[in-house]
């Protein structure tokens, strides 16, 4: 959520910035009109409350002196009716203003390049040299099918399209990757490992920005009248740990990591990456989340991105870092770095990690605050999240980059301790 004071005082400026950076149309005039009515109704409501209290006190005094209170009681009844109507209208206006505020994306940081889509993203750096094969490399689907490790047909029979079954050595490789990621981030990078629920309530989804705008991209479940959502990433439960709390400044930065199942309906991506495991309804990811003081969030963003880069370097996977433009960033982000890993079968880099600084945007939605020792007052924290990394996509990258001419896959050195002595998948 954007700064409500800024939104009330300078709606035209906010509308201009959103249009220029996000191609988002905010009706500043309608917002100003609603805000003016809110102020008027709120003042009227307060006046009626004061008048009711004054007249009610007069009734008590009149009764005590034996006077006739009929007229006063009729007046109070009329005031009560007017007050009820005023309070009702005020509630409606506040709900309309909240709905507008919840639908506004975050404002991009001034360092973010302008652009409407991924073509305007800016490459920041590269690591590693793509391998030159002396045979035609297969993609992960062909490698998996050839060895019976990856089975989309049976998964489709069980659950429908965009689900996959992994078997044998490939299933173990997938598990090894997740364990390696958790060990690296918790053991060397200072993130506290957390095991989180994969089903959350609407308040949690609203807090991190998935609701109300992106409900079509979510899987939901209902038991009786209770509706809950399957998480699209463990960013949701991890970040919401600090919802409705005031964090002590000595606990910041708060760094957490979690490995979880993730679920996405992918409602707007028909026809995109439907082959194999690039874009699935169910997948696994190791997530990184930081809760930080405002002045340290830029440092935390760089640090988090570097932690994900180290992981790819340990795996020996060539990658590049991209600074996303304004039109390609997520709804809640103010600045995002994407890490893209090299896939030989496609001869291109594909996203494997996305690390975002959301500044105070999510914190305002969640009422997540810290007490600034300099002022003694609670202020919004800054929240950051990143993939550290997507397990399935890391497995795809390992399969393709470490494949041999006979279809076998060499296990990267850092994963061998997790593979029970297996050094080649045959």
Task: Tell me if 354 is assigned to a ligand binding site.
Answer: yes
Rounded Cα–Cα distance for residues 29 and 9 (Å): 12
The string of DSSP letters for 29-61 reads HHHHHHHHHHHHHHHHHHHHHHHHHHHHHHHHH
Rounded Cα–Cα distance for residues 53 and 64 (Å): 17
Task: Tell me if 215 is assigned to a ligand binding site.
Answer: no
Helix or strand or coil: residue 104?
coil
Nearest to 43 by CA among 83, 99, 98: 83
Rounded Cα–Cα distance for residues 4 and 6 (Å): 5
Active site residue 228: no
Task: Tell me if 245 is assigned to a ligand binding site.
Answer: no
In 10 A of CB 187, how many CB atoms?
10
Active site residue 369: no
Active site residue 354: yes
Q: Which of the following is catalytic: 38, 52, 369, 393? A: 393
Rounded Cα–Cα distance for residues 240 and 196 (Å): 11
Nearest to 278 by CA among 142, 185, 141: 141
For the chain, give the number of residues: 426
Task: Tell me if 159 is assigned to a ligand binding site.
Answer: no
Q: Which of the following is catalytic: 35, 47, 296, 351? A: 351
Six-digit token pair at 312?
């790819």
DSSP 8-state assignment for residue 403: B
- Could you give the residue ranges of the DSSP H alpha helices within 277-338? 297-314
Q: Which of the following is catalytic: 38, 52, 255, 264? A: 264
Active site residue 123: no
Task: Tell me if 265 is assigned to a ligand binding site.
Answer: yes
Q: Which of the following is catalytic: 354, 365, 369, 400? A: 354
Active site residue 279: yes
CA–CA–CA angle 285, 291, 296 (5° rounding): 120
Task: Tell me if 353 is assigned to a ligand binding site.
Answer: yes
Rounded Cα–Cα distance for residues 320 and 349 (Å): 7
Rounded Cα–Cα distance for residues 333 and 107 (Å): 8
Task: Tell me if 284 is assigned to a ligand binding site.
Answer: no
**What are the residues whose beta carbons fall under 8 Å from the beta carbon of 389, sequence distance 6 or more?**
181, 285, 286, 308, 311, 312, 339, 352, 353
Task: Tell me if 250 is assigned to a ligand binding site.
Answer: no
Task: Tell me if 387 is assigned to a ligand binding site.
Answer: yes
Task: Tell me if 235 is assigned to a ligand binding site.
Answer: yes
Rounded Cα–Cα distance for residues 315 and 313 (Å): 5
Task: Tell me if 91 is assigned to a ligand binding site.
Answer: no
Task: Tell me if 119 is assigned to a ligand binding site.
Answer: no
**What are the residues whose beta carbons fall under 8 Å from the beta carbon of 189, sequence distance 6 or more?**
255, 257, 307, 310
Q: How far apart are the first and last CA of the chain?
A: 51
Task: Tell me if 56 is assigned to a ligand binding site.
Answer: no
Catalytic residues: 264, 279, 351, 354, 393
Q: Which residues are annotated as a binding site for L-serine?
A: 233-235, 264, 287, 385, 387
Q: Which residues are annotated as a binding site?
A: 233-235, 264-266, 287, 351-354, 385, 387
Q: Which residues are annotated as a binding site for ATP?
A: 264-266, 351-354
């Amino acid at each position: 959520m954007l700064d409500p004071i800024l939104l009330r005082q300078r709606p035209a400026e906010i509308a201009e910035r959103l249009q220029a950076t996000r191609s988002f149309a905010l009706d500043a005039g309608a917002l100003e009109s609603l805000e003016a009515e809110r102020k008027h109704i709120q003042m009227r409501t307060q006046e009626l409350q004061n008048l009711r209290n004054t007249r009610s006190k007069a009734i008590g005094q009149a009764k005590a002196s034996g006077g006739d209170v009929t007229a006063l009681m009729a007046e109070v009844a009329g005031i009560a009716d007017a007050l009820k109507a005023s309070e009702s209208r005020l509630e409606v206006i506040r709900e309309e203003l909240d709905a507008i505020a919840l639908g506004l994306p975050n404002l991009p940081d001034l360092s973010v390049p302008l652009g409407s889509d991924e073509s305007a993203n800016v490459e920041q750096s590269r690591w590693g040299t793509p391998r030159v094969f002396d045979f035609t490399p297969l993609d992960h689907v062909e490698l998996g099918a050839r060895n019976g490790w990856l089975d989309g047909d049976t998964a489709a029979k069980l659950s429908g399209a965009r689900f996959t079954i992994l078997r044998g050595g490939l299933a173990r490789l997938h598990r090894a990757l997740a364990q390696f990621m958790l060990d690296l981030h918790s053991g060397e990078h200072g993130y506290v490992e957390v095991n989180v629920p994969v089903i959350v309530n609407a308040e949690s989804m609203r807090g991190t920005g998935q609701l109300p705008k992106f409900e079509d991209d979510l899987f939901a479940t209902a038991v009786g009248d209770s509706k809950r959502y399957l998480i699209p990433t463990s960013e949701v439960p991890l970040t919401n740990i600090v919802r409705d709390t005031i964090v002590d400044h000595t606990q910041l930065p708060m760094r957490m990591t979690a490995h979880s199942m993730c679920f996405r309906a992918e409602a707007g991506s028909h026809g995109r990456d439907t082959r194999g495991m690039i874009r699935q309804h169910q997948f696994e990811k190791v997530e990184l989340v930081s809760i930080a003081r405002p002045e340290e969030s830029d440092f935390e963003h760089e640090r988090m991105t570097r932690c994900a880069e180290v992981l790819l370097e340990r795996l020996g996977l060539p990658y590049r870092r991209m600074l996303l433009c304004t039109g390609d960033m997520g709804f809640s982000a103010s600045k995002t770095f994407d890490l893209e890993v090299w896939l030989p079968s496609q001869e291109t880099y594909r996203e494997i990690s996305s690390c975002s600084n959301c500044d105070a945007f999510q914190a305002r939605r969640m009422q997540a605050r810290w007490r600034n020792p300099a002022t003694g007052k609670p202020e919004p924290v800054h929240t950051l999240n990143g993939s550290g990394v997507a397990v399935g996509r890391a497995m795809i990258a390992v399969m393709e980059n470490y494949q041999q001419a006979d279809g076998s896959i060499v296990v990267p050195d850092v994963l061998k301790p997790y593979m029970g002595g297996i050094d080649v998948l045959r």
